[in-house]
Amino acid sequence: MTDLNNLDEILDYAIAMEQQAVELYTDIAERATSEHNRRLFMSFADEERGHKLKLENVKKGKIEIGSTAKVQDLKIADYANDVVIDAKSSYQDILMFAMKQEKQAYRLYTDLAQRATSPEIRDLFLALAHEEANHKLRFEIEYDERVLREN
């Protein structure tokens, strides 16, 4: 991870990562070949947009805390090779890539939570980590239902 020295730099980095996720999921949704896939990825883009808004609110001095409950991990992404996606990527590869992205986001937010000096900021990062873990789980379930069961 980039060397981040203060809360503003950390928030800017996290906001940029969330914006990249919004753009990625929007792009995937726009290229989707089924309505189910389009809706799925647009919902993830919307949720990442919400994460970005939460982080921007922290920068403005407003703090929002969400759930920090533990989320089940099916660990499908843990056993897969790293995937790079392009316009010709299969749905399987796109899901695998998305799982890896969400896992990285989870790790980022848990790391930031450990570094946080304020309980409110720590709780925010833990809540965001929880949401990213939920995203990963949803992608894993989609993978299980749409890829593994079809093969």
> Is 151 a member of any domain?
no
Residue 6 has pLDDT above 50, yes or no: yes
Residue positions counted in the chain: 151
Question: DSSP letter string over 19-65?
Answer: HHHHHHHHHHHHH-SSHHHHHHHHHHHHHHHHHHHHHHHHHTT----
Per residue in 53-79, pLDDT tens? 989 988 887 765 454 455 455 454 454
Q: How many domains would you assign to the chain?
A: 1
Per residue in 84-106, pLDDT tens? 788 888 899 999 999 989 998 99
What's the distance, CA 150 to chain centroid? 26
pTM above 0.85, yes or no: no
**CATH code assigned at 14:** 1.20.1260.10
Tokens 């809706």: give the residue: 39
Q: Residue 64's domain spans which residues? A: 5-146
Cβ contact 105:130 at 8 Å: no
> Is 17 a member of any domain?
yes
Dihedral sign for Cα atoms in the order 118, 122, 123, 127: positive
Cβ contact 106:136 at 8 Å: yes
